[in-house]
């Protein structure tokens, strides 16, 4: 099992092109931890904003009567991928992993695979 800090380091080192990583509580919008980012990528602001994305998707699924759980959400920008993976299991209920990737240097399929692995090992 991995801590929040270890999980963020794993996301940043195991995924080619990683620019920033965070573990976020989407019930409050607060980041439990961030790593990377910079002046053009404020991970704390992004964590709060992506909380709204998750809440909107959950509401939409409820309105549509869709069952099942969200695995991940992908936001594609001109030069970046923003990948959100909800943490399942009792220890991670209400959390998500957030990873920002340089689109030109990353492999999206591998990033999703690595996030799944990190999510399975996260212990809060």
Binned at pLDDT 50, 70 and 90, residue 2 comes out as confident
pLDDT in tens, 82-117: 999 999 876 667 899 999 999 999 999 999 999 999
pTM here?
0.92
70-92 residues labelled b (16+ CB within 10 A) or e (exposed): eebbeeeeeebbbbbbbbeeeeb
Token pair of 33, please? Answer: 């931890």
pLDDT in tens, 7-57: 889 999 999 999 999 999 988 999 999 999 988 899 999 999 999 999 999
Measured CA to CA, the distance from residue 11 to residue 20 in angstroms comes to: 9
């Amino acid at each position: 099992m991995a801590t929040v800090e270890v999980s963020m380091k794993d996301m940043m080192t195991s995924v080619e092109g990683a620019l920033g990583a965070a573990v976020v509580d989407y019930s409050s919008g607060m980041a439990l931890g961030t790593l990377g980012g910079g002046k053009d990528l404020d991970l704390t602001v992004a964590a709060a904003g992506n909380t709204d994305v998750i809440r909107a998707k959950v509401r939409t699924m409820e309105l549509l009567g869709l069952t099942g759980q969200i695995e991940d959400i992908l936001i594609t920008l001109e030069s970046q991928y923003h990948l959100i993976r909800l943490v399942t299991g009792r220890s991670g209920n209400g959390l998500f992993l957030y990873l920002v990737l340089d689109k030109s240097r990353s492999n999206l399929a591998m990033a999703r695979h690595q996030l799944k692995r990190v999510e399975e090992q996260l212990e809060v």
